[in-house]
């Protein structure tokens, strides 16, 4: 199951979820990024590198450094988060551990300087100035509209959760020791910083880990990032960064994605449903295991039997049209950002326009915020089990808890009989479709489907 980004907290008190804080500049710079579509955003995000080149030569393979001498882009990056924003955030209520870490790298180890409870700006600034501590702010997209705008589009593009952290480090200081992460990392440099990257000890790592200086050897890359520059490196890449002397401070935003999104994770997610379906049809999987199997130390014979079952599952998988998903699709829909929308959000999630009928033509809305999946369903009235089609969406998700792993989240969506799948695919794969042409047996079923989707704001009449 995909995890939300680690809050990396060491504070003892978490406190309530802060109210929505408005820390935007009254008139910020115009964006040099293209927000017309998720693919357009990513193309402008890594410009001048072409998307095809990026995924062929760099993605999950090696770091990419994009150094830009672009004053407009530098100004835009610097508007994403400023040290002064913390004053406004502190006044509204943020907490050590959950929202903020204060830390230093001392002799190759991370020293956490968090206090207890609520963060006060004067204390935070004192630790920053006098103790030369780095301020790490978790998930600023909860408060900064432009980061919400960027990350929402990136979640649509990658089909994976996208988190972020801000790191503000005073001159001549370093916040974190050499370490690697379990996420793909994009660094947006807001103010100058010195970086060193090292050969991975665990390529495409599945866990975060600190590495000792005497284990990592010489840097494979060493450079200074300046405002407007972008750095990408794959999960597992060992890295450390420090602020050169002579500067006021350095700030960068780390945007991360693809945590727990490997083929191994996907296989774990689908295999349970596949075994369940196959066991319904094949008595061999319903037969009991040998007596005292769980007490035995030797398992060679059992491994041979299991390999036979796995081959049988592989054969069944070849002819499967609908892959069951235990958690990944639902988890993504539940925990991602809602659509970027600066108006009244109540209007975004309220049904509007013409009510669909049999004579209507309809089209899907918010395609990038909706997932279809097949999953088990148990009827509480008679305890029978079967499969249903689930339609999950993120239109009503809460921005203020995004990627804050310990916060409660709720799923939004609909459930339909498996016989509705073909009609749902028609709606998903068409720019517009007549309700009469939906592949359902009765007119009542057709009306039920489109009215349900319309009520959730997932379709509109055209």
SS3 161: coil
pTM score: 0.90
pLDDT at 15: 52
Q: Side-chain half-sphere of 149: how many Cα atoms within 13 Å?
A: 16
- Tens of pLDDT along the chain (462 residues)? 333 433 333 434 445 544 444 444 435 678 899 999 999 999 999 999 999 999 999 999 999 999 999 999 999 999 999 999 999 999 999 999 999 999 999 999 999 999 999 999 999 999 999 999 999 999 999 999 999 999 999 999 999 999 999 999 999 999 999 999 999 999 999 999 999 999 999 999 999 999 999 999 999 999 999 999 999 999 999 999 999 999 999 999 999 999 999 999 999 998 888 888 889 889 999 999 989 888 888 777 888 899 999 999 998 888 777 777 778 999 999 999 999 998 887 778 888 889 999 999 999 999 999 999 988 886 666 556 678 999 999 999 999 999 998 767 788 999 999 999 999 999 999 999 999 999 999 999 999 999 999 999 999 999
Residues 33, 150 contacting (CB under 8 angstroms): yes
CA distance 74 to 230: 11
Q: Is the dihedral of CA 332, 333, 335, 337 positive or negative?
A: positive
**DSSP 3-state assignment of 265?**
helix
Give Cα 88 to chain centroid, integer Å.
26
Beta strand 230-233 with 209-210: parallel, antiparallel or unpaired?
A: unpaired
The 10 Å CB-count burial string (b at 16+, else e) for 55-69 is: eeebeeeebbebebe
CB 182 within 8 A of CB 206: yes
Whether residue 407 contacts residue 336, with contact meaning beta carbons closer than 8 Å, is answered with: no
């Amino acid at each position: 199951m995909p995890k939300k980004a680690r809050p990396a907290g060491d504070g003892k008190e978490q406190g309530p979820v802060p109210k929505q804080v408005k820390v935007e500049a009254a008139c910020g710079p115009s964006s040099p990024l293209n927000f017309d579509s998720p693919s357009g955003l990513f193309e402008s995000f890594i410009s001048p590198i072409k998307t095809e080149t990026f995924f062929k030569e760099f993605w999950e393979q090696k770091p990419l450094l994009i150094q830009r001498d672009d004053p407009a882009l530098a100004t835009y990056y610097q508007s994403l988060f400023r040290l002064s924003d913390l004053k406004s955030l502190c006044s509204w209520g943020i907490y050590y551990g959950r929202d903020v870490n204060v830390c230093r790298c001392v002799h190759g180890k991370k020293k956490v300087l968090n206090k207890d409870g609520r963060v006060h700006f004067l204390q935070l600034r004192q630790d920053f100035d006098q103790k030369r501590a780095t301020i790490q702010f978790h998930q600023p997209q909860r408060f900064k509209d432009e980061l919400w705008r960027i990350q929402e589009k990136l979640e649509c593009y990658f089909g994976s959760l996208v988190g972020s952290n801000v790191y503000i480090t005073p001159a001549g200081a370093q916040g974190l020791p050499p370490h690697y992460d379990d996420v793909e990392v994009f660094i947006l440099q807001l103010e100058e910083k010195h970086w060193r990257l090292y050969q991975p000890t665990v390529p495409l790592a599945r866990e975060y880990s600190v590495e000792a200086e005497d284990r990592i050897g010489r840097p494979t890359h060493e450079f200074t990032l300046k405002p407007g520059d972008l750095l990408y490196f794959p999960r597992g890449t060992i890295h450390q960064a420090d602020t050169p002397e002579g500067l006021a401070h350095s700030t960068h935003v780390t945007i991360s994605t693809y945590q727990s999104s490997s083929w191994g994770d996907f296989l774990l997610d689908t295999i349970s449903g596949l075994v369940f379906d196959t066991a319904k049809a094949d008595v061999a999987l319903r037969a009991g295991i040998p007596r005292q199997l769980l007490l035995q130390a030797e398992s060679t014979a059992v491994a041979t039997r299991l390999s036979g079952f796995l081959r049988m599952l592989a054969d069944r998988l070849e002819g499967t049209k609908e892959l069951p998903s235990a958690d990944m699709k639902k988890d993504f829909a539940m925990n991602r950002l809602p659509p970027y929308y600066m108006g009244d959000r109540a209007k975004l999630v309220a049904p509007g326009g013409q009510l669909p009928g049999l004579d209507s033509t309809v089209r899907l809305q918010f395609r990038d915020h909706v997932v279809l999946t097949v999953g088990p369903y148990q009827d509480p009235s008679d305890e029978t089990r079967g499969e249903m089609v689930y339609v999950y969406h993120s239109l009503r998700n809460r921005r203020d808890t995004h990627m804050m792993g310990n916060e409660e989240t709720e799923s939004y969506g609909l459930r339909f009989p498996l016989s509705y799948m073909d009609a749902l695919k028609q709606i998903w794969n068409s720019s517009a479709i007549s309700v009469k042409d939906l592949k359902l047996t009765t007119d009542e079923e057709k009306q039920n489907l489109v009215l349900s989707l319309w009520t959730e704001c997932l379709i509109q009449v055209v």
